[in-house]
Amino acid sequence: MTLLEVKDVTVRYGQLTALRKASIGLDEGETLFVTGPNGAGKSTLLKAIAGVVSPREGEIRLDGRRISGRAPEEIARMGFSMVPEGREVFGGLTIEENLRLGVGMRADKDQAERDLEQVYAVFPMLRERRDRHAGVLSGGQQQMLVIGRALMAGPRLMAIDEPSLGLAPKVIDDVYAILLRLRDKSGLTLLIVEQSATRAMLTGGRMILMRSGEVALAGDARELARGDTLRAAYFGYGDH
Amino acid sequence: MTAVLQILFDALSLGSLYALGALGIALIFGVMRLVNFAHGDYIAFCVFALLWPSIDAAAIVFIGKLPSLILIPLVIAIGAGLSVLSEIVVFRRFRNANPATMMIASFALGFVIRYFLLMLYSSRPKSIDLWSNLSLPIEIFGARIPLLQVITICTTIVVLLALTAFLKRTRFGLEMRAAAENFTMARMLGVRANNVIMLAFALSGALAAAIGLILVTQTGTVDIQMGVSVMLVAFIATVIGGLGSLTGAVIAGFLIGGATVLMQVILPVDARPFRDAFVYAAVIVTLIWRPNGLFAPKSAKQRV
Ligand SMILES: Nc1ncnc2c1ncn2[C@@H]1O[C@H](COP(=O)(O)OP(=O)(O)OP(=O)(O)O)[C@@H](O)[C@H]1O
Ligand SMILES: [Mg+2]
């Protein structure tokens, strides 16, 4: 069943067109990687879904309901959870407060408590520092915090903008192990902006390549990452 | 010793007023990046609400006659209500406007409220006898302190403790702190922007009402200019404290109150009429030393 549908979405920042009639579809339980050069519009795509920027044209549907034009908090409450570019932890709040922020919209508080325990189990480092200000965490630790925070919202669809950025390879492995476990166990649908083709290959799923605000290429992550098509499309030559 | 106590109580009670005012401004700035210049007019509005609208010279006391237990919550509700109303009617339309535009809008709103009051009540100050027995002094360690000063200080302490508990211990408080730090991210986590902003306005308006009640008891007059001088200092306090920092606003409010009272005492008699010049000189020096204020929040992210 289609969970997310982005149809012919155009986003402009003033004169600059960051997304040009971009379309993607995402089934329940599926993983979609978004890759492409800097400035291709990957983060803009995620922001448009989150409702932080509003599309000039086109529409976005989550679970069949139109979300384009709605407020970010409403979209979040419909089951969309986002880890934006640049992490965005609340440095003045404690780690536990950061985690609990995402819980507000959930009806089942007991389940939320269990999820908090689970996040702590996955990231013991966060539990040890639960009462410290999040501002003191290192970059990698902040990344763990924001992923944990996004999970606390109990999302159906989770979008992550460059989870690997600035993380040690070992930590990247850990982060992906957790995401995959969630995908397999609770059917979490993932939309991941990722520059590393190898990572997409290891994880599997579908992949799109964006260039100049357009979806230039779409296909199976493993197949695309293996061949030369991706490279060619990435750098914009060998258009076919 | 008694003189020192007297000075201390003077400083604390004046600082209390400034702190409450600064807090009201900082609360809204935190979630909206709006410096609300209408705040002083909320104070005047709450004070005028004690009277029945008439342009006669003599005041017709209306709400002001009610027993304190009803009067106080009622005036606070009026302040909160007016503040929330101005959010819904005016500021909501400016959510995504730049801070300068919002500031001008708040100026305009302030004038609208002021002229509305002038129309109903005329521009003559009126006298009103509200709890005037509170001005009688009581004895504390040999010093004669007006009871009102003690009440003002205690009220402020209670308000500060309650607000701290609210911000630290409740869900709404957590959402407000998050929204003040990074509004967009808070919204992406499901924090409802409208609720948080309306709550900030309600709290801010309630604080304005509290200031109005203290002022009217102190002076025994109802005057359109009522909130102006307190608010001017309160604005300065929010800047000195570091725009966006609630703690900073409160501390700076007390610092300016303390400095004002202290200058009054230590300046040579000839210089005392120019006391405010010295206070503001100290303000300028502080801002040159710390342009972002004493307690500037580390991450005051712009909202989208
Ligand atoms: N807030 C903004 N205002 C104006 N232009 C913007 C804004 N955000 C992004 N852009 C522009 O839109 C285009 C797409 O940006 P976007 O951040 O979506 O790219 P990206 O694919 O995520 O790049 P990267 O890989 O570097 O993160 C870029 O040209 C960028 O300069
Ligand atoms: Mg990006």
Query: Cα torsion at B272, B277, B278, B284 (round to 10°)?
Result: 170
- Cα–Cα distance measured from residue A52 to residue B87, given in angstroms and rounded to the nearest whole number: 22
Q: What separation in Å is there between the alpha carbon of A161 and the centre of ligand 2?
A: 7
Q: Give the pLDDT confidence of A24-45 residue by residue, as tens digits.
A: 999 999 999 999 999 999 999 9
What pLDDT shows up at residue A238? 45
What pLDDT shows up at residue B221? 86
**Looking at the partner chain, which of A53, A82, A104 has a beta carbon nearest the beta carbon of B175?**
A104
Q: Give the pLDDT confidence of B232-269 residue by residue, as tens digits.
A: 999 999 999 988 788 999 999 999 999 999 988 888 88
Nearest CA in chain B to A46: B188
What pLDDT shows up at residue A239? 45
Q: Give the pLDDT confidence of A131-161 residue by residue, as tens digits.
A: 999 999 988 889 889 999 998 988 999 999 9
Q: The dihedral of CA B134, B136, B140, B145: what is its sign?
A: positive
User: Contact B189/A149, CB-based, under 8 Å?
Assistant: yes
Name the fold adopted by B2-289.
ABC transporter involved in vitamin B12 uptake, BtuC (1.10.3470)
β-bridge mates for residue B144, sequence order: B139
| H or E element, residue B204 | helix B193-219
Q: Give the pLDDT confidence of B126-165 residue by residue, as tens digits.
A: 888 888 777 788 888 887 888 889 999 999 999 999 999 9
- Cα–Cα distance measured from residue B131 to residue B125, given in angstroms and rounded to the nearest whole number: 18
**Looking at the partner chain, which of A53, A82, A92 has a beta carbon nearest the beta carbon of B177?**
A92
ipTM: 0.91
User: What ligand has the least distance to the C-alpha of A210?
Assistant: 1
Which residues touch B84 (CB under 8 Å, ≥6 apart)?
B198, B201, B202, B205
Residue ranges per structural domain of chain B: 2-289
**B3: confidence class by pLDDT, cuts 50, 70, 90:** confident
Q: Give the pLDDT confidence of B15-34 residue by residue, as tens digits.
A: 999 999 999 999 999 888 89
**A236: confidence class by pLDDT, cuts 50, 70, 90:** low
Q: What is the pLDDT averaged over residues B192-209?
A: 95
Question: Domains in chain A, ordered, with CATH?
Answer: 1-79+156-240 (3.40.50.300), 86-155 (no CATH)
